[in-house]
Amino acid sequence: MSESKGGKAAQFGVTPQSVDFNDWYNEVVVKADLADYSPVKGCMVVKPYGYAIWERINRWMEDKFRETGHEGLLFPTLIPLNFMTKEAEHVEGFAPELFTVTRIGTEVLEEPYVMRPTSETIIGHMWAQWLNSYRDLPFLHYQSGAVFRAELRTKLFLRTAEFYWQEGHTAHETREEAMAETLQQLDMYHAFCRDELALPVIRGVKTASERFAGAVETFSIEGMMRDGKALQSGTSHYLGQNFSRAFEVKFQGRDQQEHYAHTTSWAISSRIIGAIIMTHGDDKGLMLPPRIAPYQVVIVPVARKENAEQMYAEADRLAADLKAAGIRVKVDKREGVSNGFKYNDWELRGVPVRIEIGPRDLEQGVVVVKNRNAEEKETLPRAEAVAGMQQRLDAIQAYLLQRATDFLIENTVTVDTYEEFKAAIEAGKWVRAFHCGDRESEAQIAEETKAKTRNIPLDGELFGEPEEGGVCVHTGRPAAYGKRVLFGRQY
C-alpha cells in the first residue's frame, strides 16, 4: 500500500507547499476540483466542490442579514456609464477595470453601460427615488451576485475578473448610526471568519491611501496566508455623504430641513475561498474547516470485487447513521481506482475525516478513522466513531483556528527601525511599526519593500493596544494613529 501510495502521490499529488507556494495553490485549486480556467479572459468556472463552499457561505450570510433586519434586493448588473463619473474618486478608482457594453443586438448605444464593479452608484440613484422622510430610514439592503473588474493576471478565486459577493448597502439618518452599522458588519465578518472558517483575521481601519474609492473610512479584516502574505478578507466602508450628495439621496429630517443620508457599504467575496485554502492547507493539499466543508466525512469501503456489494451496503449504513447525526457524508464508490488513490484524493480535497471500512473491520465491529490533520489512523468501535463524530469535527475546527492564530502571531514582528522592517518583510513576516501617516512615505515603503499598510488594528483587537509616543519607522517623524500599524506583502 505505501508503495502505491507514494507512486500515486507523485502522479496525482501537488507540488509541496514548502517547495513552491504559488504552484501549490494553483495546483490544489484545480486538482481539488474547486474551480477551473475559462475561455473568458480573467474569468473562472467554479466547479461543484467550490460552489458547495460558496453556497454555504452565501446562505449563512443571507440568513444573518435577515436576522439583523437587512433586506435582499436585485439591482441591474449594468450601470449607465455616466453614473460612474458622478463620484469623482469612485470613477478614478474603477475606470481602468470596467467592462463596457456598447451594443445591444445591432444597435450601437449612445450612452454605454458598464458591468457593475460594485453598486453604490445605481443603488444611490434608486434610493434617491425611494427616500422622502427620516421615517423611511434606515435602508438596510444587500444584493447577492457577481461583479466585474478586469484583472491583468488571473489567479483562481483571488484575482478573477468576475467574482461573487453579497454587497451590503445601507443609508442612515446620522453619521453615528452609519458608523455603528459599518462596525457592526465588520464585527459580523470577523466572527464569521473565526467561527465558521477558522480564520483569525485582524480588524482595523485602513490608512487613507488604502481606502475604497469614494469612502470616508474603510475598515478591513486581514488574514495571514501560510506564505506570510496578507489577504484582505472583507471590508466595511463608511461612505459619509459622498454618494448621497452625488446621487441626491436626501430626506426631510426631524427638523423639517433637507439632509443627505449617511451611507455604508460592505462585502465579503469569493476571494475568501482563497483565504481558506491558503490559511489551512499543507503539503498534501487542502484542509477544510468542518463547518464549511461540503463533506465532513468521507467513507472509503475497502472492498474487493467479490465483496464490493456487501461493503458498499455497509458504508451506506454508516453514512446514514452519520447523516442522522447531522453530519455531511460522502461514500466513495469509484471503481477503477485504488484505495490509496482515494485516500490521497480526499486528503488533497481537504475532507476533515476519512473512515475506512473493510471486511475484517466489519467482523470486529470497528472502523478505521483518520483525521485530515493527524498523522496516524485510529481503530475505533463503529458506534463510538458515530457518537463521537461531531465532537471530533469540533476539535478539528478548533485545531485549525488555533494553528492559524499561532502562525499569525509567530509571524508578526514588532520593529522600530527601517532596517529591521525590511529584513522582516523580506523574511515573509508581517510587521508592526509606527508610521507618520504620510501618503508619500507609504508609497515609498511599498516601492522599496513591496509591503503596504494592512490596517491599524482596532482597540482591543489582537495587536490593537494603544501605545504612547513613537516615531515613524520610515521618516522619523512623530507617529500617527496612537498605535502601531500593520504592514505586510499582500495578495
Per the listing, cell 495553490 goes with: 25
Question: What are the residues whose beta carbons fall under 8 Å from the beta carbon of 344, sequence distance 6 or more?
Answer: 5, 8, 9, 12, 13, 284
CB of 201 to a copy of itself, least distance (A): 25
In angstroms, rounded to a whole number, what is the distance separating the alpha carbons of residues 103 and 109? Answer: 6
In angstroms, rounded to a whole number, what is the distance separating the alpha carbons of residues 222 and 411? Answer: 14
Check if the beta carbon of residue 73 is closer than 8 Å to that of residue 102: no
Binding a copy of itself by CB under 8 A: which of 4, 22, 100, 444? 100
Widest distance between CA atoms in the chain: 84
Residue 474 lies near Zn ion (rule: CB under 5 A) = yes
Partner that binds at residue 80, options a copy of itself, Zn ion, none, CB closer than 5 to 8 Å by kind: a copy of itself
Q: Which of 95-103, 299-307, 339-347, 383-391 is the region at the interface with a copy of itself (rule: CB under 8 A)?
A: 95-103
Q: Calculate the alpha carbon distances from 122 to 74, 82, 102 in Å.
A: 11, 11, 18
Residue 484 lies near Zn ion (rule: CB under 5 A) = no
Binding a copy of itself by CB under 8 A: which of 6, 19, 23, 150? 150
In angstroms, rounded to a whole number, what is the distance separating the alpha carbons of residues 23 and 25? Answer: 5
Residue 485 lies near Zn ion (rule: CB under 5 A) = no
Residue 293 lies near Zn ion (rule: CB under 5 A) = no
Q: Measured from the CB atom, is 105 or 460 closer to a copy of itself?
A: 105
Q: Which residues pair with 155 in a beta bridge?
A: 159
CB of 438 to Zn ion, least distance (A): 5
Residue 47 lies near a copy of itself (rule: CB under 8 A) = yes
Partner that binds at residue 374, options Zn ion, a copy of itself, none, CB closer than 5 to 8 Å by kind: none
Give exposure, 262-278, as e/b (b: 16+ Cβ within 10 Å).
bbbbbbbbbbbbbbbbb
Q: How many residues in the shown chain lie near a copy of itself by CB under 8 A?
A: 57
Check if the beta carbon of residue 276 is closer than 8 Å to that of residue 268: no
Binding a copy of itself by CB under 8 A: which of 43, 208, 471, 480? 43
Pattern 39-78, binding to Zn ion, x per CB under 5 A?
A: ----------------------------------------
Pattern 421-440, binding to Zn ion, x per CB under 5 A?
A: --------------xx-x--
- Nearest-CB residue for Zn ion: 436
Q: Tell me phi and psi for residue 46, to 5 degrees.
A: -90, 120
Residue 209 lies near Zn ion (rule: CB under 5 A) = no
Binding a copy of itself by CB under 8 A: which of 21, 24, 25, 83? 83
Residue 30 lies near a copy of itself (rule: CB under 8 A) = no
Amino acid at 329: V
Rg (CA), the chain: 25
In angstroms, rounded to a whole number, what is the distance separating the alpha carbons of residues 289 and 354? Answer: 14
Residues between 238 and 257 that touch Zn ion (CB under 5 A): none
Partner that binds at residue 126, options a copy of itself, Zn ion, none, CB closer than 5 to 8 Å by kind: a copy of itself
Q: Measured from the CB atom, is 113 or 491 closer to a copy of itself?
A: 113
CB of 30 to a copy of itself, least distance (A): 11
Residue 44 lies near a copy of itself (rule: CB under 8 A) = yes
Report which DSSP code applies to 226: T
Torsion of CA 187, 188, 189, 195, to 10 degrees: 110
Check if the beta carbon of residue 458 is closer than 8 Å to that of residue 203: yes
Residue 332 lies near a copy of itself (rule: CB under 8 A) = no
Pattern 392-421, binding to a copy of itself, x per CB under 8 A?
A: ------------------------------
Half-sphere exposure of 459 (CA within 13 A, CB side): 4
Q: Measured from the CB atom, is 149 or 474 closer to Zn ion?
A: 474
Question: What are the residues whose beta carbons fall under 8 Å from the beta carbon of 248, sequence distance 6 or more?
Answer: 128
Full DSSP string of 23-59:
HHHHHHHHHTTSEEE-SSTT-EEE-HHHHHHHHHHHH
Amino acid at 105: G
Binding a copy of itself by CB under 8 A: which of 7, 72, 365, 476? 72
Residue 451 lies near Zn ion (rule: CB under 5 A) = no
Q: How many residues in the shown chain lie near Zn ion by CB under 5 A?
A: 7
Burial of 363: CB neighbours in 10 Å, binned 0-12, 13-18, 19+:
exposed
Amino acid at 47: K
Q: Measured from the CB atom, is 217 or 332 closer to a copy of itself?
A: 332
Check if the beta carbon of residue 84 is closer than 8 Å to that of residue 91: yes
Q: Measured from the CB atom, is 94 or 421 closer to Zn ion?
A: 421
Q: Measured from the CB atom, is 34 or 472 closer to a copy of itself?
A: 34
Full DSSP string of 269-288:
BTHHHHHHHHHH-BTTB---
Binding Zn ion by CB under 5 A: which of 15, 38, 338, 441? 441
Partner that binds at residue 490, options a copy of itself, Zn ion, none, CB closer than 5 to 8 Å by kind: none
CB atoms within 10 A of CB 373: 16
CB of 478 to Zn ion, least distance (A): 9
Q: Which residues bind Zn ion (CB under 5 A)?
A: 435-436, 438, 441, 472, 474-475
Q: Which residues bind a copy of itself (CB under 8 A)?
A: 36, 38-41, 43-48, 51-52, 54-55, 59, 62, 71-80, 83, 95-106, 112-113, 115, 122, 125-126, 129-130, 135, 141, 145-146, 148, 150, 162, 164, 336
